[in-house]
Structure 1
Amino acid sequence: MTTQSPATPLYDLVITNGTIVAADAVYDADVAVVGERIAAIGHGLRGRRELSAAGCYVIPGGVDIHVHLEMPIGAFTSTDDFYHGTRAAAFGGTTAIVDFVETRPDETMLQALAARRAKAEGQAVIDYGLHMTIGPTDIAKLDQVAAARAAGCASFKLYMAYGLRLSDGELLLALEAIRDVAGMPVVHAENWDVITTLIRRNLAAGRTAPRWHPRSRPAELEAEAAGRVIDIAAWVGTPLHIFHVSCAPTAERIAAAKARDLPITGETCPQYLYLTDDLYDRPGVAGALPVCAPPLRPAADRAALWRALAGGALDLVTTDHCPFTAAEKATGIATGQASGQATGLDDFSRIPGGVPSIESRVALVYDGLVNRGLGGERTAALQRWVAVCATTPAALMGFTRKGRLLPGYDADIVVFDPNVDITISPESLHETAGWSPYSGTSLRGWPTTTISRGEILVDDGEWRGAAGHGRFVAR
């Protein structure tokens, strides 16, 4: 802790009079920045520019390790590009993301990485990393995993669903290759054989509306898939991270693995913490909007996920941000149901999956853990909030200079005002889908100032950032 003397040179920027919230402490102090790094934490610090955080929390910038910007799905591409998606993230207090690389069959992993980086360079306003996806056509390319790792992709996405789904034998081979380069496998765990069988059965019986989406993806079989890949990873001898946990049975599988001292981590997302599967019963396109995978679950699962998050069975919160417009969502709804918004295919399995959450995540998690007391007493809840939104994801994904407010770390700093009242709406957000699954949700507490590597991107709610500030972080 630094106390500045009158003769000490001024810092470039000082955030004064705030309450610092770390994953392991809450205390009052100033934060000083020189260039792109935090230079000091202390009292009475002076800067060439000073920002008062009186009455506010000062936290490390959020880290969202699961987003899909400009992601093609069938005939559509997720609506937020690298500029608009990262700008919305910055408004919401997130200063680093991890997106994805997918290879074409005729493309090497390094070529795919270069192509994906080219989309983000000059557009991203916050720093970013990339997961390298290993699909079925990449099993023949596993000798390239080491090169991808050396190029900064420290994590590798494995699917147990969709066209990128790996068989158990392929999962084994991929996990071995990732282990051998000390990488981190991240997994979408669902039982695709069961899902496709149930989809076919429901469609054949005329059960085509969005309400049949969750009924085709059982929670128990999500848990079965998670348990299966956990067991394979344990046999291989590699850590494993489970993406977007939607239900109590999967959280229980992860907790059981932790009890066996296995290096297994899990995440959930705001949609599973706030929304429930009755939304799929809404008429027309409204029922299609929240289609995502895994699907929303009943209220009992929502409550169980909050408990798992507060208690440590789940380690962090990401968004799986993958938004599509209402018109695009309506393509899986028959014309009559969609009130003329789209021609429609009358097939819930054709609805592009994904919801927008990148801007709301930090505030939504704060509201649940701190305001609603789901994280326990206030000091512990504040610490848990910062841990699950910033510190743990940064450490897990190899962002060695992010996720903490300490000298030498990147000056990724957020001022969060706990007394701001906001009702979420498309107009209050900076995402481009034109709708939000949290519309009408009233929160107390919202980020007001976001700083990335010493540059103020959002200044008391006003945009000051620029495309291209964000850099690829080799992890």
Structure 2
Amino acid sequence: MIKLIKNGIIVTASDTFQADILVENGKISTIGSSLSAPGAEIIDAAGCFVFPGGIDPHTHLDMPFGGTVTKDDFETGTIAAAFGGTTTIIDFCLTNKGEPLKNSIQTWHAKSKQKAVIDYGFHLMIGEINEHVLGELPQVIEEEGITSFKVFMAYKNVFQADDETLFRTLLAAKELGALVMVHAENGDVIDYLTKKAIAEGNRDPIYHALTRPPVVEGEATGRAAQLAGLANSQLYVVHVSCADAVERIAEARSKGFDIWGETCPQYLVLDQSYLEKPNFEGAKYVWSPPLREKWNQDVLWNALKNGQLQTLGSDQCSFDFKGQKDLGRNDFTKIPNGGPTIEDRISILFSEGVKKGRITLNQFVDITSTRVAKLFGLFPKKGTIAIGTDADIVIFDPNVVRTISAESHHMAVDYNAFEGMKVYGEPVSVLSKGEFVIRNKQFVGTPGSGQYLKRAKYSLHTALGQTEMQSI
């Protein structure tokens, strides 16, 4: 059905203006003042912002880890994402050494098929590099449209790859037009510090943070950046949590390296003290990299404001407190790493960022949607409001005040990491390709309506945009 969104304030990464939007056949067909369309469904957005749908570049749905599986799958996870104003996610497809990459991709297609309520794509983990893997990569890009590869520098004996694997992946990505992502922590040092802590009887959740100090993230970030520079390739550092890592990214970018950085809402508003909560409550906040001392938050906010960090991923990786997190009650190394964050990503950035003057409204849209679309081969189909783009649209009331709580969230997990936090702003209605997924704060979507996205190859020109290209 044709839809006409009227009276809202449209916000893109570059402009803010009042106009109407005509939606036809899942696309934005017209933007203008006082539009009319006989027979169209009228959607009144008075008093609301109209944003492009959020794009979450970092989720882990239905993912095995630590002897269990994340609580949210592609159905519950994407429903929660939609309630939070996200209309596209890119999930991480894990691989197994010695097995064809296509096997893992097929597994992830099976996990998501007939479940997702919004559009989605995959990143692909690279855990080893050899002639078989190198031979498969062109097919992965051309046939599957997977144009981003993730290398773990942590989780020794589980996911961790060596420097040769990272460097050769960077070289291949440069040739093939893919973006390499890194989980940047020094896994070898963490392994030593972890074993030492356990041997000394230090088993509480706080030791998860104390055995993964900021320096191991900063060191790995700097090492990955130097390897990217040596390969003349492109690098995206996921879940940046501390000043040490921000400094390494800023230094590399100042040298002209093609490097990008992502942070997450949890690092902007929570701190290391949460891991010290009594009665094992600290386990709720065990993820990697860990939460940092509070002063790092100002560094991260400033990095978003000045462009040293460019995106905000949720790193959604939810495990129940009871029955999953408590697997590590007597040993912090057995606590499944991850937290529930997909639903509150956008509201937290708006409330703590825009409302408090830390970032502008246009920066908010760039960070939550536009830049992600540009970096990961989805722009201009996704990531902006313009004629011809997918009608992925969020009608957002900036004046609502609500309290985040597990009692009202839509994730399947039994706690909320931001429990009790008061935020300003909430999505009222969310459209995916012109169809309501959330309407007046009620879910009206259909599992399986989300489409798998084949993404374009990485392009620095697209990632930067015309204005930034002209300035370099």
Name the TM tier (shorter chain): over 0.9
Please report the RMSD computed on the Cα atoms of aligned residues, expressed in angstroms: 1.2
> 2:326 — aligned with what?
330
Contact kept? 1:136, 1:165, Cα under 8 Å: no
> 1:370 — aligned with what?
354
Other structure's SS at 1:417 match: strand
Q: How does 1:90-169 map to 2 (within 5 A)?
A: 90-136=82-128, 140-150=132-142, 151-162=144-155, 163-169=158-164
State the 1:42 CA deviation: 0.6
> 1:53 — aligned with what?
45
Other structure's SS at 1:31 match: strand
Letter of the aligned partner of 1:397 in structure 2? Answer: F
Contact kept? 2:184, 2:217, Cα under 8 Å: yes
Q: How does 1:28-427 map to 2 (within 5 A)?
A: 28-47=18-37, 48-136=40-128, 140-150=132-142, 151-162=144-155, 163-327=158-322, 328-333=324-329, 346-375=330-359, 381-400=360-379, 401-427=381-407
Other structure's SS at 2:59 match: coil
What is the TM-score with the length of structure 2 in the denominator?
Answer: 0.93
- In the aligned structure 1, how far is the partner of 2:243 from the partner of 2:408? 32
- In the aligned structure 2, how far is the partner of 1:243 from the partner of 1:37? 31
Letter of the aligned partner of 1:111 in structure 2? Answer: N
Other structure's SS at 2:229 match: helix
- In the aligned structure 1, how far is the partner of 2:198 from the partner of 2:131? 33
State the 1:269 CA deviation: 0.2
State the 1:138 CA deviation: 6.5
Q: Identify the match of residue 456 of structure 1 among 406, 428, 436.
A: 436
Letter of the aligned partner of 2:420 in structure 1? Answer: G
Q: Count matched residues.
A: 448
> 1:6 — aligned with what?
none
- In the aligned structure 1, how far is the partner of 2:67 from the partner of 2:107? 20
Other structure's SS at 2:386 match: coil
What is the TM-score with the length of structure 1 in the denominator?
Answer: 0.93
Other structure's SS at 1:136 match: coil
- In the aligned structure 2, how far is the partner of 1:438 from the partner of 1:360? 8
- In the aligned structure 2, how far is the partner of 1:137 from the partner of 1:24? 40
Other structure's SS at 2:7 match: strand
- In the aligned structure 1, how far is the partner of 2:23 from the partner of 2:242? 42
Q: Deviations over 1:353-382 (max 9, x none)?
A: 00111010111000121111112xxxxx10
- In the aligned structure 1, how far is the partner of 2:134 from the partner of 2:73? 29
- In the aligned structure 2, how far is the partner of 1:284 from the partner of 1:350? 17
Other structure's SS at 1:178 match: helix
State the 1:31 CA deviation: 1.1
- In the aligned structure 1, how far is the partner of 2:448 from the partner of 2:186? 40
- In the aligned structure 2, how far is the partner of 1:322 from the partner of 1:235? 33
Cα distance change, pair 175–324 in 1 and its aligned pair in 2 (3 A): same
Letter of the aligned partner of 1:102 in structure 2? Answer: L
Other structure's SS at 1:406 match: coil
State the 1:107 CA deviation: 3.1
- In the aligned structure 2, how far is the partner of 1:289 from the partner of 1:436? 9
Contact kept? 1:285, 1:326, Cα under 8 Å: no
State the 1:157 CA deviation: 0.7
Other structure's SS at 2:210 match: helix
Alignment gaps of 5+ in structure 1: 1-10, 334-345, 376-380
Contact kept? 1:105, 1:137, Cα under 8 Å: no
Contact kept? 1:285, 1:329, Cα under 8 Å: no
State the 1:102 CA deviation: 2.0
Q: Deviations over 1:383-429 (max 9, x none)?
A: 01101000001111111300000011100000000111110001221
Letter of the aligned partner of 1:131 in structure 2? Answer: H
State the 1:472 CA deviation: 0.5
- In the aligned structure 2, how far is the partner of 1:433 from the partner of 1:214? 23
